[in-house]
């Protein structure tokens, strides 16, 4: 269905598109291409804002021109080259036009291949927070039904991945009566109440209160209505406010029965099934938490799907300008009532650093204007990137403003979110244990992970003298072994942690060293089937003995071979070892290793010896072919083992009869 293009090129083009717009849909609308089914190459360049006066690719630009253009210009040239490659892969000839055209859907599907993957439950929670089902239905096919391509286009327009969309569509289609399309009503009902699609990867995970919140607010007006809290009369609240009796409270606790009431939903719009509502109400009610503790992704007037985001990730924020906010009249915080709500002419939702000293740092803000004509609505923000000198924590707030940029006051409580950063500090200490050709490393896990779990550790091992890279590796746990190293060599090791946001800084270099191999044994005597060795004298106090190994040269290395090997152990004071059971006239590699109470040390370097030649074995298959009066004609096969030397002749002996001492020799 979708075209496949170079992933790296698609990633660059998608990053270019989303550097100015939150979603591909916004970019198409801004360029006036939302209703165009086919795009020309010129329109595509306009969409990516990559049109330049220079040549069409960096290779065609002169060196002087390259030096003259700015860094931004060079980036635009790369985007231009990517657009041309994309056109070459996707363009098709339109029968009604002389220009090559690109299908808009194929463009979106190709770019989405570099988007991050997510589960249907996460997508559904974001869609419930936006709560624009009617707008979505009117923007889609007039029939009210979505086929596979229409559904995939809807997902990728909101910066989703094409493979996710195809997987979700198949699961949603299984819920129908065999139809090849799904309705908007089914999509909304599933996203709000039944997002645990059978067979989907995220279907088995239990509900979290933060995940249920956008669905509750999609069905109920506020949490007071959702949990059936006892309502207060509005005039009583106004009277208390006038008498300055409103105080900050922790909010009511949510019991099992209140959860059950909320999760069942309304008669005209049910939420969870009765069985699932009973199970979840029992589990969540046992927590016994107040509403403000249950929903960290909720403030008085703002709600998000989660509290942890990647830098640049799309944040959908639901807002309310009602008198009592999302909590309703029984919420934990007093609200400013409608007539006194100072919104200004152009209020906006913004993310500001949570650190008080940086609260006025204007460049740190990610803002989006809200529609004052709507009591409830949703806006989209981009998760802020990490700023030098700031933490990863931000506050989302509604600010009153007259120009859409300069805030006059905050009209909502802060909603704390965290933006993932790379692990801020590397492991502080690395412990190394070296052997002759390997070193095992251990280190403590990072105390801070930047808000996201550490996915892996990267290890770089360099030669201490030249700083040349000797070995690299990756590990999910804080332990790894580097292999195939040089014995008796100094190294420097560095470790860094990585999470979803990227790789953290490298640790300082820690010294490590491989163990030196012991000297090889000395050959004292070589026989036909034996070798006498002298072992090096050691004065180590923990030495418990030696082990000597002989491996036939035709079978492999002593360290790895398990066939045709002879191993012999000796005590710590035994300096000579006699190896027996060897083959005559055969080459062997010999090596030795030290032993202590816990382990065996590295093997020494190998020496090669060849045993002396021995006597051959008797010939085989002796047969008398012909007998005459004074002659015998016999035949035989060569012996299976010649003793290590070429056969130079045979001796035949004929005995006259049983018990006779007369014999005839023939050479």
pLDDT at position 441 is: 93
pLDDT attached to residue 540: 61
pLDDT category at 91 given cuts 50, 70, 90 is low
**Mean pLDDT taken over the chain:** 78
* Number of other residues whose CB lies within 10 A of the CB of residue 147: 16
Give CA–CA dist 51/569, Å, rounded.
78
pLDDT above 50 for 71: no
pLDDT over 70 (residue 663): no
Fold topology of 430-513: Immunoglobulin-like (2.60.40)
- Do residues 283 and 323 lie in contact, with contact meaning Cβ atoms separated by under 8 Å? no
Confidence (pLDDT) at 317: 94
How is domain 116-203 classified at the CATH fold level? Recoverin; domain 1 (1.10.238)
Q: What's residue 387's pLDDT?
A: 55
Cβ neighbours of residue 529 closer than 8 Å, sequence gap 6 or more = 580, 581, 582, 583, 584, 611, 614
pLDDT at 4: 53
3-state secondary structure 545-614: EEEEEEEECCCCCCCCCCCCEEEEEECCCCCEEEECCCCCCCEEEEEEEEEECCCECCCCCCEEEECCCC
pLDDT tens-place string over residues 125-151: 988 898 887 777 666 676 788 889 889
Predicted confidence (pLDDT) at residue 388 exceeds the cutoff of 50: no
Q: How confident is the model at residue 331 (pLDDT cuts 50, 70, 90)?
A: low
Range 302-419 has CATH code 2.30.30: no
If one compares 200 and 646, the residue with the highest pLDDT of the two is: 646
pLDDT, position 356: 62
Nearest to 222 by CA among 324, 370, 349: 324
Local confidence band at 83 (pLDDT 50, 70, 90 cut-offs) = low
> For the segment 588-627, what is each residue's pLDDT rounded down to a tens digit?
988 888 887 777 777 887 888 888 887 788 888 888 878 8
Strands 439-443, 531-534: parallel, antiparallel or unpaired by DSSP? Answer: unpaired
**CATH topology of 302-419 equal to that of 522-610?**
yes
Helix ranges, 91-160 (H): 104-112, 120-130, 133-139, 148-157
Please give the DSSP secondary-structure letter assigned to residue 452: S
CATH class label, 522-610: mainly beta
- In this structure, the strands spanning 308-309 and 415-419 are parallel
Domain ranges (residues) in the chain: 7-112, 116-203, 302-419, 430-513, 522-610, 620-666
Check residue 407 and give its pLDDT. Answer: 87
Closest by Cα among 420, 357, 365, 429 to 397:
365
What confidence tens digit (pLDDT) does each residue in 494-516 have? Answer: 999 988 888 888 999 999 998 88
pLDDT interval class at 232 (50, 70, 90)? very low
- End-to-end CA distance of the chain: give it in Å, rounded: 87
> What local confidence, expressed as pLDDT, does residue 348 receive?
92
> Are the C-beta atoms of 190 and 133 separated by less than 8 Å?
no
When comparing pLDDT for 247 and 186, which is higher? 186
Is pTM beyond 0.75? Reply is: no
Rounded to the nearest 5 degrees, what angle is found at the Cα of 226, between the Cα atoms of 223 and 227? 90
Could you give the count of Cα atoms lying within 13 Å of 34 in the half-sphere of its Cβ?
12
Determine the pLDDT at residue 558: 44
Phi and psi, residue 641, nearest 5°:
-140, 125
């Amino acid at each position: 269905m979708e075209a496949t293009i170079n992933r790296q090129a698609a990633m660059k083009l998608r990053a270019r598109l989303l550097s100015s717009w939150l979603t591909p849909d916004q970019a198409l609308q801004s360029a006036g291409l939302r209703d165009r089914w086919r795009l020309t190459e010129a329109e595509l360049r306009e969409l990516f804002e990559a049109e330049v006066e220079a040549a069409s690719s960096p290779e065609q630009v002169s060196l002087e021109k390259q030096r003259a253009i700015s860094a931004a210009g060079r980036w635009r040239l790369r985007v231009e080259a990517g657009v041309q490659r994309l056109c070459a892969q996707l363009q098709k000839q339109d029968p009604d036009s002389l220009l090559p055209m690109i299908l808009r859907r194929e463009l979106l599907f190709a770019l989405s291949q570099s988007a991050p993957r997510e589960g249907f439950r996460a997508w559904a929670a974001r869609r419930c927070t936006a709560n624009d089902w009617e707008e979505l239905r009117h923007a889609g096919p007039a029939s009210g039904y979505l086929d596979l391509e229409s559904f995939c286009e809807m997902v990728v327009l909101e910066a989703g991945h094409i493979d996710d969309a195809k997987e979700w569509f198949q699961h949603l289609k299984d819920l129908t009566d065999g139809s090849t399309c799904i309705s908007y009503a089914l999509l909304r009902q599933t996203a709000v109440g039944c997002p645990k699609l059978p067979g989907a990867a995220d279907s088995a995970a239990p509900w979290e209160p933060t995940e249920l919140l956008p669905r509750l607010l999609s069905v109920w007006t506020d949490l007071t209505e959702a949990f059936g809290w006892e309502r207060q009369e509005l005039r009583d609240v106004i009277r208390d406010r006038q008498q300055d009796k409103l105080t900050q409270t922790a909010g009511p606790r949510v019991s099992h029965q209140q959860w059950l009431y909320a999760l069942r939903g309304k008669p005209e719009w049910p939420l969870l099934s009765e069985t699932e509502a009973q199970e979840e109400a029992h589990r969540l009610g046992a927590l016994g938490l107040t509403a403000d503790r249950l929903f960290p992704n909720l403030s008085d007037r703002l709600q998000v799907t989660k509290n942890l985001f990647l830098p640049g990730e799309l944040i959908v924020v639901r807002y309310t300008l009602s008198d009592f906010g999302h909590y309703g009249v029984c919420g934990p915080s007093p609200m400013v009532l409608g007539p006194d709500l100072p919104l200004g002419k152009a209020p906006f939702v913004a993310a500001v650093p949570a650190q008080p000293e940086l609260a006025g740092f204007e460049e740190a803000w990610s803002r989006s204007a809200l529609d004052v004509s709507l009591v409830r609505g949703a806006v989209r923000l981009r998760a802020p990137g990490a700023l030098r000198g700031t933490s990863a924590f931000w506050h989302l707030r509604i600010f009153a403003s007259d120009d859409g940029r300069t805030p006059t006051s905050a009209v909502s409580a802060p909603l704390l979110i965290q933006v993932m950063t790379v692990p801020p500090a590397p492991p502080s200490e690395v412990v190394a244990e070296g052997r002759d050709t390997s070193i095992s490393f251990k280190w403590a896990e990072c105390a801070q992970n930047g808000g996201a779990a550490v996915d892996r550790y990267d290890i770089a091992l360099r030669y201490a003298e030249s700083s040349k890279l000797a070995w690299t590796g990756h590990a999910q746990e804080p332990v790894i072994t580097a292999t195939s190293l040089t014995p008796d060599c100094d190294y420097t090791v560095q470790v860094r942690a990585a999470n979803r946001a990227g790789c953290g800084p490298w640790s300082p270099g820690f010294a490590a060293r491989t163990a030196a191999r012991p000297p090889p044994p000395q050959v004292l005597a070589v026989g036909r089937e034996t070798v006498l060795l002298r072992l090096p004298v050691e004065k180590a106090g923990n030495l418990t003995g030696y082990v000597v190994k002989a491996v036939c040269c035709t079978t492999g290395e002593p360290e790895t071979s398990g066939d045709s090997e002879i191993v012999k152990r000796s005590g710590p004071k035994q300096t000579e070892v006699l190896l027996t059971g060897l083959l005559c006239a055969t080459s062997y590699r010999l090596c030795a290793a030290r032993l202590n109470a816990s382990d065996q040390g590295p093997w020494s370097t190998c020496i090669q010896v060849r045993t002396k030649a021995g006597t051959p074995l008797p010939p085989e298959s002796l047969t008398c072919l012909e007998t005459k009066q004074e002659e015998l004609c016999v035949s035989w096969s060569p012996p299976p083992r010649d003793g290590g030397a070429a056969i130079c002749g045979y001796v035949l002996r004929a005995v006259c009869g049983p018990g006779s001492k007369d014999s005839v020799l023939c050479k």
